[in-house]
């Protein structure tokens, strides 16, 4: 992508109405656009990051047998009345809309009811279980607090997976498998070290659920973390009984702020019973399906990465989620040979399947580097008169933690080595 063609631009001043660092940086760098409080649009660079995060999640969900669907966002009240959740007290974030011809519809906040109803058409016998079904689907929640940028929005994509099992054991096996997949996801997108499996309230159908919480002062939750054991307890359930259950001692735990990036939840037979999702066991007796739900917010993850990994100069994307793997920058000062060399390198990268963001704009070097620091692509190639006379290209490959251009040291690499080094 030639930056001279990109319709978005960076801006030096952070938007004044944003208090969250993630929104300030993402808007300044041209990743997102604010529509109104708690509502954001994703621009070309931002959509690439979001899609990369979703692809990591998709791969890990497919690896544990998840089958991808996409359910409708418009929901019929009939199904929600069966479970008692059409009520605004049961779900206090509903957006509902009246139909012109009479009647009402709900805008999806979650999908237990519609998916349980759908599965009744396909699950009849014990042979049809277990199953795991997931989607990346737009949720609407009329959130009161919308001050955390893209980490808490009124409209957002959620990866929600639902598991359907024959009994508690089958459910539990999948639950643990999914917890393992979540660990892999957070590690791959670069926040594994800061993210802890956290015991949280199980609601009405189970003693506990598990949240995945990323340590950050920008978080809205308070948790008590045991770093060596790699587990934590949410303040909501922090009491002597829980500590005893988990074999933890109060004075070994550290109180910290954290962001809930994911949540896995035992549902028992609450929705299967309400929606009539049963199967016939080996004896031909009808049994309710045992369910679980497993959510992750890709937008909240993107905001979390920015909160946790950015520095004073801008965003720092881990390799797996960066909008482009490499930022190619030409410093030509009007020299046509430099332009030609940078163009050639851009084409060479493309031939090798390496997508680059190419800063081919006619602007000063200082502006290009400041923009590159703000945008935060982990590897950088610089072509200038100086590098050409030294017979190479200036190259910085980040180790996935440090941003390009911020390590101090740059290497002059002969062109013949560039492709190999970037492919690593």
Region 134-153 residues binding ligand ATP, contact defined as CB under 6 A: 141, 143, 152-153
Among 263, 379, 384, 398, binds Mg ion (CB under 5 A): 263
- Name which of ligand ATP, Mg ion, none residue 299 binds, using a CB cut-off of 5 to 8 Å depending on partner kind: ligand ATP
H/E stretch holding 226 reads: strand 221-226
User: Residue 290 in contact with residue 299, Cβ under 8 Å?
Assistant: no
Please, what is the end-to-end C-alpha distance for the chain in angstroms? 21
Interface map 173-212 toward ligand ATP (x if CB under 6 A)? ----------------------------------------
H/E stretch holding 273 reads: helix 270-275
Interface map 232-261 toward ligand ATP (x if CB under 6 A)? ----------------------------xx
Minimum distance from CB of 191 to ligand ATP (Å)? 12
- 86-94, 261-269, 323-331, 402-410 -> range binding Mg ion (CB under 5 A): 261-269
Residue 2 DSSP code: B
β-sheet bridge partners, residue 98: 104
Minimum distance from CB of 299 to Mg ion (Å)? 15
H/E stretch holding 111 reads: none
Of 263 and 332, nearer to Mg ion (C-beta) is: 263
Minimum distance from CB of 70 to ligand ATP (Å)? 16
For position 384 contacting Mg ion by CB under 5 A, the verdict is: no
Minimum distance from CB of 185 to Mg ion (Å)? 16
Under the phi-then-psi rule, with left for phi > 0, alpha for psi from -120 to 50, and beta for the rest, what region is 305? alpha
For position 111 contacting ligand ATP by CB under 6 A, the verdict is: no
Please tell me the distance from the alpha carbon of residue 38 to that of residue 155, in angstroms, as a whole number. 8
User: Residue 196 in contact with residue 223, Cβ under 8 Å?
Assistant: yes
For position 387 contacting Mg ion by CB under 5 A, the verdict is: no
Of 262 and 376, nearer to ligand ATP (C-beta) is: 262
Alpha-carbon distances, residue 247 vs 51, 55, 169, 242 (angstroms): 40, 37, 23, 8
Region 278-337 residues binding ligand ATP, contact defined as CB under 6 A: 295-297, 299-300
- 104-112, 144-152, 262-270, 368-376 -> range binding Mg ion (CB under 5 A): 262-270
For position 198 contacting Mg ion by CB under 5 A, the verdict is: no
Nearest to 303 by CA among 17, 24, 11, 82: 24
Could you tell me how far CA 197 lies from the centroid of its own chain?
A: 16
- Name which of ligand ATP, Mg ion, none residue 153 binds, using a CB cut-off of 5 to 8 Å depending on partner kind: ligand ATP
Alpha-carbon distances, residue 331 vs 335, 338, 361, 364, 367 (angstroms): 9, 7, 9, 8, 11
DSSP 122-165: T--BGGG--EEEEEEEEEE---S---SGGGS-SEEEEEEEEEEE
β-sheet bridge partners, residue 157: 138
- 129-137, 190-198, 257-265, 305-313 -> range binding Mg ion (CB under 5 A): 257-265
Could you tell me how far CA 324 lies from the centroid of its own chain?
A: 17
Among 137, 263, 310, 332, binds ligand ATP (CB under 6 A): 263
Give the Cα-Cα-Cα angle 202, 198, 244 (nearest 5 degrees): 75
Of 299 and 405, nearer to ligand ATP (C-beta) is: 299
The radius of gyration of the chain from alpha carbons, rounded to an integer in Å, stands at 25
For position 379 contacting ligand ATP by CB under 6 A, the verdict is: no
For position 234 contacting Mg ion by CB under 5 A, the verdict is: no
- 37-45, 263-271, 296-304, 389-397 -> range binding Mg ion (CB under 5 A): 263-271
Minimum distance from CB of 44 to ligand ATP (Å)? 21
For position 135 contacting Mg ion by CB under 5 A, the verdict is: no
Of 75 and 263, nearer to Mg ion (C-beta) is: 263
Interface ranges with ligand ATP (CB under 6 A): 141, 143, 152-153, 156, 158, 260-263, 295-297, 299-300
Interface ranges with Mg ion (CB under 5 A): 263
């Amino acid at each position: 992508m030639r930056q001279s063609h990109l319709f978005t631009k960076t801006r030096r001043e952070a938007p004044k109405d944003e208090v969250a660092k993630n929104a300030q940086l993402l808007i300044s760098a041209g990743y997102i656009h604010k529509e109104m409080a708690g509502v954001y649009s994703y621009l070309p660079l931002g959509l690439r990051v979001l899609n990369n995060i979703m692809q990591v999640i998709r791969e890990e969900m497919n690896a544990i047998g998840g089958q991808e669907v996409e359910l409708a966002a418009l929901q019929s009240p009939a199904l929600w009345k069966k479970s008692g959740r059409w009520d605004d007290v049961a779900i206090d974030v509903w957006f509902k809309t009246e139909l012109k011809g009479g009647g009402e519809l709900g805008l999806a906040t979650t999908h237990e009811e519609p998916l349980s109803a759908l599965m009744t058409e396909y699950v009849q016998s014990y042979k049809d279980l277990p199953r795991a079904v997931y989607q990346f689907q737009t949720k609407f929640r009329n959130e009161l607090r919308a001050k955390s940028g893209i980490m808490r929005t009124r409209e957002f994509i959620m990866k929600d997976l639902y598991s359907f099992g024959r009994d508690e054991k089958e459910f539990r096996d999948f639950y643990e498998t999914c917890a393992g997949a979540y660990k892999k996801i957070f590690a791959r997108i670069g926040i594994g070290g800061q993210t802890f499996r956290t015991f949280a309230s199980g609601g009405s159908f189970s003693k506990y659920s598990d949240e995945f919480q990323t340590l950050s002062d920008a978080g809205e939750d308070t948790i008590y973390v045991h770093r060596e054991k790699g587990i934590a307890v949410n303040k909501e359930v922090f009491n002597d009984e829980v500590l005893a259950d988990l074999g933890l001692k109060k004075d070994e735990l550290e109180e910290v702020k954290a962001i809930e990036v994911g949540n896995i939840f035992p549902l028992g037979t609450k929705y299967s019973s309400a929606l009539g999702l049963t199967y016939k066991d080996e004896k031909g007796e009808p049994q309710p399906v045992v369910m679980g739900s497993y959510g992750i917010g890709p937008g909240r993850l993107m905001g979390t990465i920015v909160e946790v990994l950015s520095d004073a100069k801008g965003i720092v994307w881990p390799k797996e989620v960066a909008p482009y793997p490499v930022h190619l920058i030409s410093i030509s000062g009007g020299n046509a040979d430099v332009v030609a060399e940078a163009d050639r390198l851009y084409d060479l990268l493309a031939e090798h399947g390496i997508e680059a963001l190419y800063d081919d704009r006619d602007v000063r070097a200082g502006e290009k580097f400041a923009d590159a620091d703000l945008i935060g692509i982990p590897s950088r190639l610089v072509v200038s008169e100086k590098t050409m006379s030294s017979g190479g290209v200036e190259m910085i490959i980040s180790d996935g933690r440090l941003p390009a251009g911020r390590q101090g040291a740059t290497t002059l690499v002969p062109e013949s080595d560039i492709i190999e080094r970037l492919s690593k």
